[in-house]
Amino acid sequence: MNLKGFLKKFKNGKILVIGDLILDRYIWGKVSRISPEAPVPVVEVTDDNFVLGGAANVAHNIIALGGRATVAGIVGKDRAGDVLRNLLAERGVASAVVEDSRPTTIKTRVIAHNQQVVRFDREGRERITGKVLERMRNIIKDAVREHDAVIVSDYKKGVVSRELIKNILSIARPKGKLVAVDPKVGHFHCYKGVSLITPNLMEASSGSGIDIRDEKSLLKAGQALMKKISCSAVLITRGEEGMSLFERDRVTHIPTVARHIYDVTGAGDTVIATFSLAYAAGASMQEAAAIANHAAGLVVGEVGTAVVTPEKLSESLLRGC
Protein backbone atom coordinates (compact mmCIF):
# COMPACT_ATOMS: atom_id res chain seq x y z
CA MET A 1 0.00 0.00 0.00
CA ASN A 2 1.37 3.41 -0.98
CA LEU A 3 0.07 5.17 2.10
CA LYS A 4 2.24 8.26 1.67
CA GLY A 5 0.25 9.23 -1.42
CA PHE A 6 -2.79 10.05 0.70
CA LEU A 7 -0.87 12.62 2.76
CA LYS A 8 -0.72 14.98 -0.22
CA LYS A 9 -4.52 15.01 -0.32
CA PHE A 10 -4.88 15.94 3.35
CA LYS A 11 -4.83 19.64 2.45
CA ASN A 12 -8.14 19.19 0.62
CA GLY A 13 -9.89 17.59 3.59
CA LYS A 14 -12.36 19.60 5.64
CA ILE A 15 -13.50 17.93 8.86
CA LEU A 16 -16.18 19.01 11.33
CA VAL A 17 -15.42 18.10 14.96
CA ILE A 18 -18.35 18.12 17.40
CA GLY A 19 -17.97 17.46 21.09
CA ASP A 20 -16.51 18.42 24.44
CA LEU A 21 -14.01 21.26 24.33
CA ILE A 22 -11.25 21.00 26.93
CA LEU A 23 -8.42 23.32 27.90
CA ASP A 24 -5.34 21.38 29.02
CA ARG A 25 -2.99 23.18 31.38
CA TYR A 26 0.50 21.83 32.05
CA ILE A 27 2.56 22.93 35.05
CA TRP A 28 6.13 21.73 34.60
CA GLY A 29 8.66 21.45 37.39
CA LYS A 30 11.14 19.37 39.31
CA VAL A 31 11.05 17.58 42.65
CA SER A 32 13.98 17.49 45.03
CA ARG A 33 12.31 17.11 48.41
CA ILE A 34 9.21 15.95 50.31
CA SER A 35 7.01 18.50 52.04
CA PRO A 36 7.46 18.74 55.85
CA GLU A 37 3.70 19.44 56.05
CA ALA A 38 2.55 16.15 54.49
CA PRO A 39 4.13 13.12 52.72
CA VAL A 40 3.83 14.74 49.27
CA PRO A 41 6.48 15.93 46.80
CA VAL A 42 7.24 19.64 46.56
CA VAL A 43 7.23 20.67 42.90
CA GLU A 44 9.43 23.62 41.99
CA VAL A 45 7.60 25.14 39.00
CA THR A 46 9.73 25.89 35.94
CA ASP A 47 7.06 26.42 33.27
CA ASP A 48 3.30 26.72 32.78
CA ASN A 49 1.41 26.46 29.48
CA PHE A 50 -2.01 25.83 27.94
CA VAL A 51 -2.84 23.52 25.03
CA LEU A 52 -6.03 22.42 23.30
CA GLY A 53 -7.72 19.28 24.64
CA GLY A 54 -10.74 17.09 23.91
CA ALA A 55 -12.58 17.97 20.71
CA ALA A 56 -10.34 21.03 20.35
CA ASN A 57 -7.27 18.78 20.26
CA VAL A 58 -8.87 16.60 17.58
CA ALA A 59 -9.35 19.71 15.43
CA HIS A 60 -5.77 20.82 16.18
CA ASN A 61 -4.50 17.43 14.99
CA ILE A 62 -6.34 17.88 11.69
CA ILE A 63 -4.82 21.33 11.19
CA ALA A 64 -1.32 20.06 12.10
CA LEU A 65 -1.69 17.32 9.46
CA GLY A 66 -2.45 19.93 6.81
CA GLY A 67 -6.24 19.65 6.71
CA ARG A 68 -8.96 22.13 7.59
CA ALA A 69 -11.14 21.83 10.65
CA THR A 70 -14.14 23.44 12.30
CA VAL A 71 -14.94 22.64 15.92
CA ALA A 72 -18.37 22.95 17.54
CA GLY A 73 -18.82 22.80 21.30
CA ILE A 74 -19.48 24.60 24.57
CA VAL A 75 -17.34 27.01 26.60
CA GLY A 76 -18.06 28.94 29.76
CA LYS A 77 -18.10 32.70 30.15
CA ASP A 78 -14.75 32.68 31.92
CA ARG A 79 -11.01 33.23 31.46
CA ALA A 80 -10.43 29.58 30.49
CA GLY A 81 -13.01 29.98 27.71
CA ASP A 82 -11.20 33.06 26.42
CA VAL A 83 -7.86 31.23 26.47
CA LEU A 84 -9.36 28.26 24.63
CA ARG A 85 -10.92 30.40 21.91
CA ASN A 86 -7.68 32.33 21.45
CA LEU A 87 -5.73 29.08 21.10
CA LEU A 88 -8.19 27.82 18.48
CA ALA A 89 -7.73 31.02 16.48
CA GLU A 90 -3.93 30.86 16.80
CA ARG A 91 -3.88 27.26 15.55
CA GLY A 92 -6.09 28.08 12.57
CA VAL A 93 -9.13 26.13 13.77
CA ALA A 94 -12.48 27.60 12.74
CA SER A 95 -14.83 27.54 15.72
CA ALA A 96 -18.58 27.54 16.20
CA VAL A 97 -18.55 27.93 19.97
CA VAL A 98 -21.67 28.28 22.13
CA GLU A 99 -21.37 30.01 25.50
CA ASP A 100 -23.00 28.50 28.56
CA SER A 101 -23.22 29.28 32.26
CA ARG A 102 -21.13 26.20 33.11
CA PRO A 103 -17.36 26.58 33.59
CA THR A 104 -15.06 25.79 30.69
CA THR A 105 -13.61 22.32 31.21
CA ILE A 106 -9.96 22.64 32.23
CA LYS A 107 -7.63 19.77 33.14
CA THR A 108 -4.49 20.81 35.00
CA ARG A 109 -1.58 18.37 35.06
CA VAL A 110 1.53 18.83 37.19
CA ILE A 111 4.55 17.21 35.49
CA ALA A 112 7.92 16.65 37.18
CA HIS A 113 10.84 14.80 35.59
CA ASN A 114 8.57 13.75 32.69
CA GLN A 115 6.09 12.09 35.05
CA GLN A 116 2.62 13.25 36.02
CA VAL A 117 2.49 14.04 39.73
CA VAL A 118 -1.19 14.98 39.98
CA ARG A 119 -4.13 16.13 37.84
CA PHE A 120 -7.03 18.29 38.94
CA ASP A 121 -10.13 19.17 36.90
CA ARG A 122 -12.61 22.02 36.83
CA GLU A 123 -15.74 21.25 34.86
CA GLY A 124 -19.51 21.05 34.60
CA ARG A 125 -20.96 17.86 33.14
CA GLU A 126 -24.64 18.69 32.97
CA ARG A 127 -26.35 17.67 29.73
CA ILE A 128 -26.97 20.64 27.44
CA THR A 129 -30.63 21.58 27.05
CA GLY A 130 -32.90 24.45 25.99
CA LYS A 131 -31.43 27.33 24.02
CA VAL A 132 -27.87 26.00 24.23
CA LEU A 133 -28.92 22.68 22.65
CA GLU A 134 -30.94 24.49 19.99
CA ARG A 135 -27.95 26.64 19.06
CA MET A 136 -25.79 23.53 18.75
CA ARG A 137 -28.37 21.90 16.47
CA ASN A 138 -28.49 24.97 14.23
CA ILE A 139 -24.69 25.02 13.99
CA ILE A 140 -24.61 21.32 13.08
CA LYS A 141 -27.35 21.70 10.47
CA ASP A 142 -25.31 24.25 8.52
CA ALA A 143 -21.82 22.88 9.19
CA VAL A 144 -22.26 19.17 8.35
CA ARG A 145 -23.17 19.98 4.76
CA GLU A 146 -20.00 22.03 4.30
CA HIS A 147 -17.53 19.37 5.49
CA ASP A 148 -16.22 16.08 4.10
CA ALA A 149 -16.54 14.10 7.32
CA VAL A 150 -17.74 14.48 10.91
CA ILE A 151 -15.95 13.50 14.10
CA VAL A 152 -17.81 13.27 17.40
CA SER A 153 -15.36 13.64 20.27
CA ASP A 154 -17.19 12.43 23.37
CA TYR A 155 -15.61 13.11 26.75
CA LYS A 156 -18.95 12.81 28.56
CA LYS A 157 -19.04 16.47 29.58
CA GLY A 158 -22.66 17.06 28.51
CA VAL A 159 -22.48 17.88 24.80
CA VAL A 160 -22.93 14.46 23.17
CA SER A 161 -26.30 12.70 23.48
CA ARG A 162 -28.37 10.23 21.46
CA GLU A 163 -30.52 13.11 20.22
CA LEU A 164 -27.46 15.02 18.99
CA ILE A 165 -26.08 11.94 17.20
CA LYS A 166 -29.46 11.39 15.48
CA ASN A 167 -29.40 15.01 14.38
CA ILE A 168 -25.91 14.61 12.88
CA LEU A 169 -26.78 11.34 11.14
CA SER A 170 -29.98 12.75 9.62
CA ILE A 171 -27.84 15.25 7.71
CA ALA A 172 -24.59 13.33 7.10
CA ARG A 173 -25.87 9.85 6.22
CA PRO A 174 -27.94 10.80 3.12
CA LYS A 175 -24.80 12.43 1.71
CA GLY A 176 -22.63 9.38 2.44
CA LYS A 177 -20.33 11.23 4.82
CA LEU A 178 -18.23 9.48 7.44
CA VAL A 179 -19.42 10.00 11.02
CA ALA A 180 -16.67 8.78 13.36
CA VAL A 181 -16.98 8.69 17.15
CA ASP A 182 -14.31 8.60 19.83
CA PRO A 183 -16.53 6.95 22.47
CA LYS A 184 -16.83 7.17 26.23
CA VAL A 185 -17.85 4.46 28.66
CA GLY A 186 -21.54 4.73 29.53
CA HIS A 187 -22.48 6.39 26.23
CA PHE A 188 -22.34 3.51 23.77
CA HIS A 189 -26.14 3.50 23.49
CA CYS A 190 -25.87 6.99 21.94
CA TYR A 191 -23.83 5.93 18.90
CA LYS A 192 -26.20 3.61 17.03
CA GLY A 193 -25.89 4.05 13.28
CA VAL A 194 -22.58 5.93 13.10
CA SER A 195 -19.91 4.93 10.57
CA LEU A 196 -17.04 4.19 12.94
CA ILE A 197 -16.14 4.11 16.63
CA THR A 198 -12.57 4.10 17.98
CA PRO A 199 -12.60 2.68 21.53
CA ASN A 200 -9.52 1.64 23.48
CA LEU A 201 -9.44 -1.80 25.11
CA MET A 202 -11.11 -0.70 28.33
CA GLU A 203 -13.87 1.14 26.46
CA ALA A 204 -14.39 -1.78 24.09
CA SER A 205 -14.70 -4.18 27.03
CA SER A 206 -17.24 -1.98 28.77
CA GLY A 207 -19.23 -1.19 25.64
CA SER A 208 -19.47 -4.81 24.53
CA GLY A 209 -19.90 -6.33 27.97
CA ILE A 210 -17.03 -8.72 27.22
CA ASP A 211 -13.82 -8.80 29.27
CA ILE A 212 -11.03 -8.63 26.68
CA ARG A 213 -8.18 -10.87 27.81
CA ASP A 214 -6.94 -12.51 24.63
CA GLU A 215 -7.49 -12.59 20.87
CA LYS A 216 -10.59 -14.75 21.19
CA SER A 217 -12.34 -12.36 23.57
CA LEU A 218 -11.10 -9.41 21.46
CA LEU A 219 -12.82 -10.85 18.39
CA LYS A 220 -16.04 -11.43 20.32
CA ALA A 221 -16.00 -7.87 21.70
CA GLY A 222 -15.40 -6.28 18.31
CA GLN A 223 -18.16 -8.29 16.67
CA ALA A 224 -20.52 -7.53 19.55
CA LEU A 225 -19.90 -3.81 19.17
CA MET A 226 -20.51 -3.99 15.41
CA LYS A 227 -23.87 -5.62 16.06
CA LYS A 228 -24.83 -3.41 18.99
CA ILE A 229 -24.09 -0.11 17.25
CA SER A 230 -24.89 -1.14 13.66
CA CYS A 231 -21.80 0.68 12.44
CA SER A 232 -19.63 0.06 9.39
CA ALA A 233 -16.42 -0.40 11.38
CA VAL A 234 -14.91 -0.58 14.87
CA LEU A 235 -11.27 0.39 15.39
CA ILE A 236 -10.03 -0.85 18.76
CA THR A 237 -6.78 0.77 19.89
CA ARG A 238 -4.70 -1.69 21.91
CA GLY A 239 -1.71 0.29 23.19
CA GLU A 240 1.50 -1.67 22.78
CA GLU A 241 -0.37 -4.29 20.74
CA GLY A 242 -1.37 -1.79 18.04
CA MET A 243 -4.93 -1.72 16.66
CA SER A 244 -7.64 -4.06 15.41
CA LEU A 245 -10.03 -2.94 12.68
CA PHE A 246 -13.38 -4.73 12.51
CA GLU A 247 -15.37 -4.43 9.30
CA ARG A 248 -18.44 -6.38 8.27
CA ASP A 249 -16.50 -8.98 6.28
CA ARG A 250 -13.06 -9.00 7.91
CA VAL A 251 -10.82 -8.21 10.88
CA THR A 252 -7.40 -6.61 10.41
CA HIS A 253 -4.79 -6.58 13.18
CA ILE A 254 -2.28 -3.75 12.84
CA PRO A 255 0.90 -4.03 14.96
CA THR A 256 2.18 -0.93 16.73
CA VAL A 257 4.99 1.10 15.20
CA ALA A 258 5.72 3.07 18.39
CA ARG A 259 9.38 2.94 19.38
CA HIS A 260 8.75 4.20 22.91
CA ILE A 261 5.56 4.88 24.85
CA TYR A 262 5.93 7.78 27.29
CA ASP A 263 2.45 9.28 27.42
CA VAL A 264 -0.88 8.23 25.86
CA THR A 265 -2.55 11.59 26.60
CA GLY A 266 -4.42 12.67 23.46
CA ALA A 267 -3.47 9.57 21.46
CA GLY A 268 -7.13 8.75 20.81
CA ASP A 269 -7.62 12.27 19.45
CA THR A 270 -4.75 11.74 17.02
CA VAL A 271 -6.09 8.37 15.88
CA ILE A 272 -9.57 9.55 14.99
CA ALA A 273 -8.31 12.79 13.42
CA THR A 274 -5.80 11.01 11.20
CA PHE A 275 -8.21 8.21 10.27
CA SER A 276 -10.97 10.63 9.26
CA LEU A 277 -8.64 12.86 7.26
CA ALA A 278 -7.15 9.86 5.45
CA TYR A 279 -10.59 8.42 4.71
CA ALA A 280 -11.76 11.78 3.36
CA ALA A 281 -8.66 11.76 1.15
CA GLY A 282 -9.83 8.52 -0.48
CA ALA A 283 -8.14 5.87 1.66
CA SER A 284 -9.96 2.65 2.46
CA MET A 285 -10.82 1.80 6.07
CA GLN A 286 -7.74 -0.45 6.25
CA GLU A 287 -5.45 2.17 4.75
CA ALA A 288 -6.83 4.91 6.99
CA ALA A 289 -6.30 2.71 10.06
CA ALA A 290 -2.71 1.94 9.04
CA ILE A 291 -1.95 5.66 8.65
CA ALA A 292 -3.61 6.45 11.98
CA ASN A 293 -1.52 3.73 13.62
CA HIS A 294 1.66 5.49 12.51
CA ALA A 295 0.37 8.83 13.80
CA ALA A 296 -0.46 7.27 17.19
CA GLY A 297 3.02 5.76 17.37
CA LEU A 298 4.49 9.24 17.09
CA VAL A 299 2.38 11.04 19.71
CA VAL A 300 2.81 8.41 22.44
CA GLY A 301 6.55 8.98 22.22
CA GLU A 302 6.14 12.51 23.58
CA VAL A 303 5.15 13.73 27.03
CA GLY A 304 1.92 15.78 27.16
CA THR A 305 -0.74 16.47 24.55
CA ALA A 306 1.01 16.34 21.16
CA VAL A 307 0.16 16.53 17.46
CA VAL A 308 1.70 15.03 14.32
CA THR A 309 3.00 16.89 11.28
CA PRO A 310 2.83 15.56 7.71
CA GLU A 311 6.64 15.48 7.62
CA LYS A 312 6.94 13.25 10.70
CA LEU A 313 4.09 11.04 9.52
CA SER A 314 5.68 10.69 6.10
CA GLU A 315 9.00 9.64 7.69
CA SER A 316 7.22 7.06 9.86
CA LEU A 317 5.33 5.64 6.88
CA LEU A 318 8.62 5.42 4.94
CA ARG A 319 10.26 3.49 7.77
CA GLY A 320 7.27 1.17 7.90
CA CYS A 321 7.30 0.34 4.20
Active site residue 20: no
Q: Please name every residue paired with 96 in a beta bridge, in sequence order, or none if there are none.
A: 72
Cα–Cα distance, 150 to 17 (Å, whole number): 6
- What does the alpha-carbon distance between residue 277 and residue 149 come to, in Å, rounded to a whole number? 8
- The C-alpha atoms of residue 54 and residue 263 are separated, in whole angstroms, by 16
The single-letter DSSP state of residue 241 is G
Give the whole-angstrom CA distance, residue 36 versus residue 20: 40
Residue of 20, 154, 263, 269 marked active site: 269
Listing DSSP states for 180-217 in one string gives: EEE--TT-GGGGTT-SEE--BHHHHHHHHT----SHHH
Q: Contact, 204 vs 225, CB < 8 A?
A: yes
Helix, strand or coil for residue 117? strand
Residues involved in catalysis:
269
